[in-house]
Amino acid sequence: MSLDVGIIGLPNVGKSTIFNALTAAGALAANYPFATIEPNVGIVNVPDPRLKQIHQYITTDKIVPASVRIVDIAGIVRGASTGEGLGNKFLSHIREVDEVLQVVRCFEDPDITHVDGKIDPLRDIETINTELCLADLETVTSTMDKAVRLARSGDKDATARVDILKKVLPLLEAGRPARAADLSEDEKKLIKSLGLMTAKKVLFVANVAENDLEGKDPLVQVVRDYAASVNSEVVPVCGKLEAELSELPEADRNEMLESLGLKEPALASLTRAAYHLLGLQSYFTAGQIEIRAWTITQGTKAPQAAGVIHGDLEKSFIKAEVFTVEDLLKHKSEAAIKAAGRLRLEGKEYVMQDGDIVHFQAGLAGKK
């Protein structure tokens, strides 16, 4: 399954800088509002040390990590919901992603202007929240009339839609996001079809100064407090430093990280956090051709996990041979894992676990 993540924020908060570092896409964006009109798109691998651990004991031609698709969306300004700064066009790009990374500037720099003249993370968050709520309110209001008419004719889907819209409408009118609504799992699936921007999960990215890599500045704490109040998370990232790291050869990058006392770029933590925020996890297939991480949602059963590889595997699923990365590290080979009784045969009701290494057996396709 593919995951699309949109990066949003006010102009000049470091949004495109972080996008370029994530995707190693090249030069930094110019320092002026509306720098990104059409969204830039890049594919980012999800760092996972377990792939190299598997490769220690299973030789293969290539390693394929899980990945996410990153979309750099133009800076949002006050009035975007009514078209300010071509806002309507920009907002439409947010409707198409699965999850939002909201970059919030948490550093002072006289050479980089702020659209509101002063650094205030909470005001910036509220500005974007207000614009997205207003745009969603317009969507819900226009959708409600049609849904009510259809519901009166006995349309069950329309009736379900009306019930959801009635829960969401008062929240949006109060300036609160649709994701704050108390919805069942079925309702959460249905609300996706409405394309509401404020229904999407948000991960806050605190863009910090080079002397505050751990995000200890009071400005970052403001973002943490807000994120905690809305059941979200914060990842501190120094966009300037990450941009420099992304341009270095691997050996020089590792040397620079070591000099800073870091084990990995902050963007690695950011990518993993974005991946897990939606309840995603990875399982692995491993053989001579490749070792690959496959993306599934938590709670996925074995046949559906097989279907991520190919639909025919789900249809003709028989069973799955499963062991773990820990089993491999301990016993060193699949043969030794089997001899130790650690190779499990699981059926159609098996719920996949993060880090499972799997061989699927199917009726027509054979062993995959």
pLDDT of residue 1: 64
pLDDT of residue 28: 33
pLDDT of residue 76: 75
Low-confidence ranges of the chain (pLDDT < 50): 25-37, 85-87, 365-368
Question: Thinking of the domain 299-367, which architecture would CATH place it in?
Answer: Roll (3.10)
Domain(s) labelled CATH 3.40.50.300 in the chain stretch across 4-49+65-277
- Distances in Å between the Cα of 97 and the Cα atoms of 30, 176, 192, 202 are 25, 20, 11, 11
97-150 per-position pLDDT tens digit: 999 999 999 998 887 767 777 899 999 999 999 999 999 999 999 889 888 989
pLDDT of residue 88: 54
Domain(s) labelled CATH 3.10.20.30 in the chain stretch across 299-367
The CATH fold assigned to 4-49+65-277 is: Rossmann fold (3.40.50)
pLDDT of residue 87: 46
pLDDT of residue 29: 35
